[in-house]
Amino acid sequence: MSVEQKINQLRDELRQHNYNYYILDNASISDYEFDIKLKELQALEDANPDFFDANSPTQRVGGAITKNFKTTVHDFRMYSLDNSYSKEDLLDWETRIKKMVDGDVQYTCELKYDGASMNLTYEKGKLVRAVTRGDGVQGDEVTANIKTINTVPLQLKGDFPERFDIRGEIILPIKGFLKMNEERIANDDEPYRNPRNTASGSLKLQDSAEVAKRPLECLLYSIKGNNLNISTQFEGLDKARAWGFKVPKEAKLVNSIDDVLDYVEYWDTHRHNLPYEIDGVVVKVNSLFQQDELGFTAKAPRWAMAYKFKAEQVSTRLNEITYQVGRTGAITPVANLKPVELAGTTVKRASLHNADQIEKLDIREGDEVFVEKGGEIIPKIIAVDLTKRPGNSRPTIYIENCPECETQLERLEGEAKHYCPNYNGCPPQVVGRIQHYISRKAMDIEGLGGETVALLVKGGLITNYSDLYELTVEQVIPLERMAEKSAENLINGVEASKQIPFERVLFALGIRYVGETVAKKLAKHYKSIDALMFASILDLVTVDEIGERIAESVVEFFSFEENRKIVERLKTFGVQLEISAEKLASQTDKLKGKSIVVSGVFVSISRNELKKLIEDNGGKVSSSISSKTSYVVAGDKMGPSKRTKAENLNITILSEQAFLELLK
Ligand code: AMP
Ligand code: ZN
């Protein structure tokens, strides 16, 4: 078999597994085997750049950075939908339709997926472009981001038209949304409000690798094009499914508006069993010929109608307001409710966000309150039923002292939240900080979990994360659910964490506002904790993407003697508190201040390696050529329009060889 054949065979195979897994929901290979094959393909592609294909399964991991999304005009305008809220509305709509078309009317009923709409263009079975709805006439091209979504086929199967557009909704399934939020809460980041906003916010992230991490899906509902040989909406859905798209099976073809009403009623009560959120149903005249006859109003098709479900609301009693203390000391007030059924789950608690929110709604213990679960997963209190307020009711007085350690709370100018400043003595902060330190994205200490950390603190065995390194097997064994083997694992896990690179240690320290990305930037710039410790606010803000808020937080962290002592101890235990010599050797300032565009396919180095090389040498990778571009590094198959642009702007074009030479 030739290399090309092997590459094509692997691509086909991976595509099929991807399809089985994401579209059919029926895995045909283990994740591990899939990874092995993907790596094999990646290696072959790296070694044989002539066979590069932008739609290869290897391209799903993302990596492309887009600074400015290109505005693109839609070939077919993306209309909005008219809304209806009642049976009468739907009957009126039917009457209007029947006046305008001859013969019987069938309807395709579909779910109204709650996400962000997307137009995908396919040519010769390959995805060539993905554009947001924008204002309906033109949107933003977000192809690099959309390619990372596994349910978007990059290569179609079967008998597809030469060229067409297909529309769908980018959604975030509820499970994936909750998982993302679990991680955010563990990191003490504010959780995302609802799946819809999180999905639509993902489309225009600049780093497509970030998008790849989010479990987004694309559900398709409409095909547009010329000479498609499709005569009904329902047939279109079937065909799209056969070409490899994810088209939910809940779509139903019905013969009368009465059947439409049944469909609406069914999904109004059963929608909570779906893996994703819907906000209604969309009803479409099935015949495309009749659709043509009906045409469009200024903003929406006459042949379609959305039926919007009402946001579900119930009223219940607010028993008590309690306060939670997070790892950074942030206080969150929580409404403890008389348990009530809402949108398919029992609701017992709702977040009250902060003191302002309580004041604005004048929420008091003992009140009867309205709880809503609209697009939001976390229920919220939208109002108080004042008619039911008990006579002895008193306004809520926000706590002034920490519920865990009694310390007086602080509220910084301009901040919505109160904080407990008892950094070293407030139990949830002490425990939370160590839990963060050991977490997967930080020091990833195997054999040690959050509950054990709480036990260690409670038992007085540790008071901060540097104490972990002095624990012994004998000390740990007596803890609940510990045995000799697990105690040894724990100690070994702690020992192994001494190899974790500096940037992750910096993240693990738990400095407020220093997340993973910021930690990377700071590690790269300062190279050691000693340099960072002595950096001033003025100096910190000169670092790329570091603002005043982060700078102040870093300076504050190191202003505490206690923190400096802990860092010193970590150092004596051998934790990595500077960039390794090896890594340092690969870093220079040679490209400092240079903005570099990479284009084409490379022979001796992968695109990602090339980008990393630029960054390691102090340069900035930019995605589009402008007068600010310093160089274009051009590989094979650099786009002709890019080349012309670079030439017109008199920008130096370097070959792969010339560029590598430059760094020597
Ligand atoms: P609206 O944003 O309220 O005008 O509703 C129109 C939007 O509903 C469209 O732009 C789509 O993004 C979305 N939508 C969700 N599901 C469907 C569906 N099955 N058919 C058509 N549009 C849908
Ligand atoms: Zn406290």
- Does residue 336 lie in a domain region? yes
Q: What atom of ligand 1 comes closest to residue 112's alpha carbon? A: 16
- What's the CATH number where 608 sits? 3.40.50.10190
Cα 102 to averaged position of ligand 1 atoms, centre (Å): 27
pLDDT at site 615:
83
Residue 208 to residues 205, 572, 612, 623, Cα–Cα distance (Å): 7, 39, 16, 12
512 and 652 fall within a common domain: no
- What's the CATH number where 487 sits? 1.10.150.20
- Does residue 589 lie in a domain region? no
Confidence of residue 643 (pLDDT cuts 50, 70, 90): confident
Residues 31-41, mean pLDDT to the nearest whole number:
90
541 and 476 fall within a common domain: no
Cα 402 to averaged position of ligand 2 atoms, centre (Å): 5
CB 151 within 8 A of CB 22: yes
Q: What one-letter code names the amino acid at 652?
A: T
Q: What atom of ligand 1 comes closest to residue 117's alpha carbon? A: 12
Sign of CA dihedral 548, 551, 552, 553: positive
pLDDT at site 65:
82
Residue 374 has pLDDT above 70, yes or no: no
Contact 169 CB / ligand 1 (< 6 Å): yes
Token code pair at residue 90 = 């739907």
Q: Which residues of 209-229 are buried (b: 16+ CB within 10 A; e: fewer)?
A: bebbebebbbbbbbbbbeebe
Contact 277 CB / ligand 1 (< 6 Å): no
Contact 167 CB / ligand 1 (< 6 Å): no
Cα 69 to averaged position of ligand 1 atoms, centre (Å): 23
- Tell me the ligand closest to 410's alpha carbon: 2
368 and 318 fall within a common domain: yes
Q: Is 103 exposed, middle or buried (0-12, 13-18, 19+ CB in 10 A)?
A: exposed
Give percent above pLDDT 90 in the chain: 68
pLDDT at site 363:
96
pLDDT at site 377:
63
Edge-to-edge strand ranges of the sheet holding 312-325: 345-351, 331-342, 312-325, 368-373, 380-384
Residue 660 has pLDDT above 70, yes or no: yes
The pick from 77, 79, 112 for probing ligand 1's pocket by mutation, whose C-beta has the most ligand atoms within 8 angstroms, reads 112
Token code pair at residue 638 = 């650099």
279 and 235 fall within a common domain: yes
pLDDT at site 343:
73
Q: How many residues does the chain have?
A: 664
Q: Is 30 exposed, middle or buried (0-12, 13-18, 19+ CB in 10 A)?
A: exposed
- Does residue 67 lie in a domain region? no
What is the rounded CA–CA span in Å between residue 647 and residue 643? 6
First to last CA, the chain: 39
- What's the CATH number where 382 sits? 2.40.50.140
pLDDT at site 388:
93
Contact 282 CB / ligand 1 (< 6 Å): yes
Contact 171 CB / ligand 1 (< 6 Å): no
- Does residue 71 lie in a domain region? no
pLDDT at site 514:
92
Taking only the tens place, the pLDDT of each residue in 161-219 is 999 999 999 999 999 999 998 888 777 677 887 899 899 999 989 889 899 999 999 99
The pick from 117, 131, 250 for probing ligand 1's pocket by mutation, whose C-beta has the most ligand atoms within 8 angstroms, reads 117
pLDDT at site 193:
79
Domain tally, the chain? 6
164 and 235 fall within a common domain: yes
Residue 662 has pLDDT above 60, yes or no: yes
Taking only the tens place, the pLDDT of each residue in 405-437 is 999 999 988 888 999 999 889 999 999 999 999
CB 578 within 8 A of CB 533: no
119 and 257 fall within a common domain: yes
- Does residue 329 lie in a domain region? yes
470 and 404 fall within a common domain: no
Confidence of residue 147 (pLDDT cuts 50, 70, 90): very high
230 and 163 fall within a common domain: yes
Q: What atom of ligand 1 comes closest to residue 169's alpha carbon? A: 12
13 and 92 fall within a common domain: no
- Does residue 214 lie in a domain region? yes
Residue 123 has pLDDT above 60, yes or no: yes
pLDDT at site 376:
56
Q: What atom of ligand 1 comes closest to residue 79's alpha carbon? A: 10
171 and 286 fall within a common domain: yes
- What's the CATH number where 51 sits? 1.10.287.610
Contact 407 CB / ligand 1 (< 6 Å): no
Of 555, 584, 613, the one marking the end of a domain is 584
Taking only the tens place, the pLDDT of each residue in 527-552 is 999 999 999 999 999 988 898 989 99
pLDDT at site 41:
94
What is the rounded CA–CA span in Å between residue 539 and residue 295? 62
Cα 449 to averaged position of ligand 2 atoms, centre (Å): 23
What is the rounded CA–CA span in Å between residue 148 and residue 207? 11
pLDDT at site 341:
85
Respond yes or no: is residue 179 known to be catalytic.
Answer: no
Pick the catalytic residue from 67, 98, 112, 388.
112
∠ CA 169-170-171 to the nearest 5 degrees?
A: 105
- Tell me the ligand closest to 424's alpha carbon: 2
Contact 81 CB / ligand 1 (< 6 Å): yes
Which residue's structure tokens are 């659709």?
Answer: 291
Residues 382-392, mean pLDDT to the nearest whole number:
92
pLDDT at site 368:
96
- What's the CATH number where 163 sits? 3.30.470.30
Q: Please name the helix (run of DSSP H) or strand (run of DSSP E) that holds residue 237, with its range, or none.
A: helix 233-243
The pick from 131, 132, 169 for probing ligand 1's pocket by mutation, whose C-beta has the most ligand atoms within 8 angstroms, reads 169
Contact 306 CB / ligand 1 (< 6 Å): yes
Question: Whose Cα sits closest to atom 2 in ligand 1?
Answer: 80
Q: For residue 27, what are the domain limits?
A: 3-61
Taking only the tens place, the pLDDT of each residue in 499-509 is 999 999 999 99
40 and 100 fall within a common domain: no
Taking only the tens place, the pLDDT of each residue in 573-612 is 999 999 987 777 777 888 888 899 888 888 888 877 888 8
Of 499, 520, 551, the one marking the end of a domain is 499
Contact 223 CB / ligand 1 (< 6 Å): no
Q: Is 371 exposed, middle or buried (0-12, 13-18, 19+ CB in 10 A)?
A: buried
Residue 372 has pLDDT above 90, yes or no: no
Confidence of residue 31 (pLDDT cuts 50, 70, 90): confident
Of 499, 528, 554, the one marking the end of a domain is 499
Give percent above pLDDT 70 in the chain: 99
Cα 478 to averaged position of ligand 1 atoms, centre (Å): 59
What is the rounded CA–CA span in Å between residue 351 and residue 335? 6
- Tell me the ligand closest to 115's alpha carbon: 1
Name 371's bridge partners: 314, 381
- Does residue 77 lie in a domain region? no
Question: Whose Cα sits closest to atom 14 in ligand 1?
Answer: 112
28 and 172 fall within a common domain: no
What is the rounded CA–CA span in Å between residue 561 and residue 553? 15
How many CB atoms lie under 10 A from the CB of residue 649?
A: 13
Residue 90 to residues 100, 109, 270, 308, 423, Cα–Cα distance (Å): 16, 13, 20, 11, 59
- Does residue 577 lie in a domain region? yes
pLDDT at site 199:
95
Residues 111-123, mean pLDDT to the nearest whole number:
96
pLDDT at site 496:
96
Residues 70-77, mean pLDDT to the nearest whole number:
94
**Better-predicted residue by pLDDT, 186 or 125:** 125
